[in-house]
Structure 1
């Protein structure tokens, strides 16, 4: 396809479908442009090769497209001297439990105790509580284990830990601490649920 040439302000301006016809040096130097009088008969040129040899006045689109492709490397990467001076700043890892303020646990007060539905494909009633930390932040905390005695104004101890199927729940209440009782009738994993060890009856161990 041969580009069409039009006369604009004594210079020839044309739409070029292929950007390869212009090099950056010939496009960006106005001194290389030729008046329209020197290009008489350019419409009668038969081949694209002869037409591409003429250096014409570029359009704004050609200039902007050519300039946008040249991205300085300093914008993306640090040079060797900059890296030696310590220009590279490591990205800070986003904390998973910002409400704890880098503490292992925090005391909190229950504002509301309710249940939520988990994500698909799970189906259940997860027990959660909206609590206010000592830092003043209000978050959702999960109540692990079967059964609980929490209600409004209960004082609990909160630790970090997300629930996989409950979006927005990134904290857990520690069972067996403060007002939260441990899980009853649990024999395995008692330390995770605050269950005390049941002492055996000494009379039952005696042989008759």
Structure 2
């Protein structure tokens, strides 16, 4: 064991302070140094090397909405137990990326070069569709009754 891991374990209480704030009846301990992580044991290091955690990117890249231009309209088929024709569009987003977005509701007026507003929210039974179009904004009209 190296010196740092021994020192970390012996002086772990130095890195923590007790909050005086009462959260749901319990005192909480928060780290003073946020950079310190729990050290791995020798068995854990021997079993597999340390890899940094990969943060998953949200479909709209941390933004609530993105504007996009329709490249083409698609009809996608859902996965096995379901059977339908899901109306989707291929969109070039304002950040330069391309994605497939679902058009909710019955009927739409989208064609190539239409402008749409997309939000996050995947289509559970169609793989690869992680965005939904917002009805009533830009060129995508409300659902007609």
Q: TM-score range by the shorter chain?
A: 0.5 to 0.7
Under a length normalisation based on structure 2, what TM-score does the superposition of the two structures give? 0.66
User: C-alpha deviations, 1:144-170, integer Å up to 9, x for none?
Assistant: 000000011100001110010011100
Within 2, Cα distance between the matches of 1:159 and 1:144?
A: 12
Runs (4+) off by over 6 Å:
none
Say yes or no: does 1:160 pair with 2:109: no
Structure 2 residue 49 is the aligned partner of structure 1 residue 87: no
Q: Does 1:121 align with 2:81?
A: yes
Instruction: Say which SS state the counterpart of residue 132 (structure 2) adopts.
Output: strand
In proportion to residue count, which structure has more strand?
2
Cα deviation, residue 92, structure 1: 6.5
From the superposition, tell whether residues 148 and 92 of structure 1 become closer, same or farther in structure 2 (CA, over 3 Å). same
Structure with the bigger RCO (C-alpha within 8 Å, sep 6+) is 2
Rounded Cα–Cα distance in structure 2 between residues aligned with 1:116 and 1:73: 56
Which residue does 1:139 correspond to in 2? 99
RMSD: 2.9
Summarize deviations over 1:69-126 as a string: whole Å, max 9, x none: xxx699xxx94357935421895642331xx332111110000101010001000000
What are the ranges of 5 or more consecutive residues in structure 2 without an aligned counterpart?
16-32, 39-51
| CA radius of gyration, larger in | 1
CA shift digits 1:24-58 (9 cap, x unpaired): xxxxxxxxxxxxxxxxxxxxxxxxxxxxxxxxxxx
Give the corresponding residue for 2:136.
176
Pairing partner for 2:72 from 104, 112, 120 = 112
The structure with the greater share of residues assigned to helix is 1
CA distance in 2, matches of 1:146, 1:73: 65
Residue segments in structure 1 that go unaligned for 5+ positions in a row: 1-71, 186-208
Q: 1:108 to 1:79 in 2, by over 3 A?
A: same
TM-score normalised to the size of structure 1? Answer: 0.47
Q: How many residues align?
A: 110
